[in-house]
Structure 1
Amino acid sequence: MDTHYLQRRGQIATYFDRTAADTWARLTSDAPVGRIRATVRAGRDRMRELLLGWLPQDLRGRRLLDAGCGTGALAVEAARRGASVVAVDLSPTLIGIAAQRVPAGLSRHIEYIAGDMLDASLAEFDHVVAMDSLIHYAPTEVVQVLAGLSARCRHSLLFTFPPRTRALAAMHFVGRLFPRGERAPEIAPVSERRLRHLLDTTPGLLDVGVGRTQRVASGFYTSQAMELIRP
């Protein structure tokens, strides 16, 4: 990956591990939150259910990578279905929170790792899910990451991206009004048409096809899921 990707990865890791760790822990819990964050929580819950719905109901004997697991909600649900889950995130703080939240009896089914989702030592998987973990990277970087993940994925790769919409552009403008220290790293919206073109022309992704795609919009949360599958 190029220097810009590595710099961006460092910014994201710093933000979620230090600046926003407490906020993220609260957002992904049952704790009360403000109106705006409540819409984000609701949107993320809907997106998680959508992605889980695209996975087999019975995941026994399957190995799944939760790429950018955050505080671990999706990893837990996949483990409930019998999957052997590797949950990786750049933030050691969020990994610590995720490990603490694992229900009794599921801890042996989930391995939490603080590190890079592209680490080759993670080996191969039947399914990979990257929920909102690629939204801060440029589209050309996203497809390179997807190519790296696809090389180690036997069946389906599910990911989300920020669609280019007027509503999302307005939210970005509002976000720039916050003090610099409180801003999350900017996301990189992309049209579905351009993303499909990049998927069709990126070495490492030529042997996978696009399956289902669906958008989730909830107040200040807008994200689109896409499925990559092997024939």
Structure 2
Amino acid sequence: MPTLTYAARRGELLQYFDRTAVEAWKRLTSDAPVNSIRATVRAGRDDMRRTLLGWLPDDLHGVRLLDAGCGTGALAVEAARRGAKVVAIDLSPSLIELGRERLPGDLDIDFRVGDMLDPELGRFDYVVAMDSLIHYRPRDTVRVLEGLCQRSDRGVLFTFAPRTAALSVMHAVGRLFPRSDRAPAIEPVRPRIIERLIGEAVPGWGARGMHRVARGFYISQAMELVRR
């Protein structure tokens, strides 16, 4: 069940990705030149996307997949190329519109503006949430995962921000930027803590795979949840 902290952070994310940072994300998710810091973020996101896609079957024909927090839809496009029927949802109308504009003409993806927990989205074989839960407190993240697992038949793949010394330094540096330029804070958590919380809140599900990507200013950890 969503909490007040989830709702409040959701509003911050909408403000940031739909207004403050839309141009920056437009460049980051394209081939446009970016500075050295954002280049590491782009490379890290590319690595993470490959990791998550690598955990999915090569042939996705007949599979219904939810790209939860899809951004501009890069992962959704790759899944659709493998044959998946993809619903790609994001809070930001601006990012969804950009995803629709970039969609190759030979693919069909159901882009939607809204909340990944919307029950009207229906059931899926797989849910993928790449870097869309990293801004929520751990218990809020697990509540979201509980809801996603209830609607997934085969697996939920997601990422979280692992608590590391390097990530702590990046947080400290980030606080030096003007408030208007800051992204919403991420919420680092130790892998064993997130696993324990999932075990308590989502019975019958457990981690089958885990992989960390660290490329400069990008640090994120993927986890694959499956039915036990």
Q: For the superposition of Structure 1 and Structure 2, which TM-score range results when normalised by the shorter chain? A: over 0.9
Alpha-carbon distance between aligned partners in 1 of 2:110 and 2:57, rounded to the nearest angstrom: 20
Contact 2:5/2:140, CA 8 A, preserved across alignment = no
SS in 2 for 1:118: coil
Letter in 2 for 1:150: C
Structure 1 position 2, deviation (Å): 1.6
Q: Which residue of 1 aligns with 2:208?
A: 211
Following the alignment from structure 2 to structure 1, what is the Cα–Cα distance between the partners of residues 158 and 17? 19
> Which residue of structure 1 lines up, in the alignment, with residue 4 of structure 2?
3
The count of aligned residue pairs is 227
Alignment of 1:1-231 (within 5 A): 1-106=2-107, 108=108, 110-202=109-201, 205-231=202-228
Shift of 1:65: 0.2
- Where does the alignment leave 5 or more consecutive residues of structure 2 unmatched? none
Q: SS of the residue aligned with 1:135?
A: coil
Q: Give the unaligned 5+ runs of structure 1.
A: none
Query: Are the counterparts in 1 of residues 13 and 184 from structure 2 also a CA contact under 8 Å?
Result: yes
Q: What root-mean-square deviation, in Å, do the aligned CA atoms of Structure 1 and Structure 2 show?
A: 0.5
**How far apart, CA to CA, are the structure 1 residues paired with 2:194 and 2:227?**
18
1:193: how far off? 1.0
- Superposed displacement of residue 99, structure 1: 0.5
Verify the 8 A CA contact 2:127 2:148 in the aligned structure 1: yes
Matched letter for residue 222 of structure 1:
I
Partner Cα distance (2:189, 2:206) in 1: 19
CA distance in 2, matches of 1:89, 1:151: 20
Q: CA deviation at 1:48?
A: 0.1
Q: Percent identity?
A: 61
Q: Structure 1 length as normaliser, TM-score?
A: 0.97
CA distance in 2 between partners of 1:85 and 1:5 (Å): 25
Whole-Å separation in 2 of the counterparts to 1:183 and 1:47: 23
Question: 1:62 is aligned with what amino acid?
Answer: V
TM-score with structure 2 length normalisation? 0.99
Counterparts of 2:5 and 2:96 in 1: how far apart (Å)?
25
Kindly report structure 1 stretches of 4+ aligned residues shifted beyond 6 Å: none
The DSSP-based 3-state class of the residue aligned with 1:193 is helix
Question: Deviation digits for residues 3-38 of structure 1, max 9, x if unmatched?
Answer: 111011000011000000110010000000000000
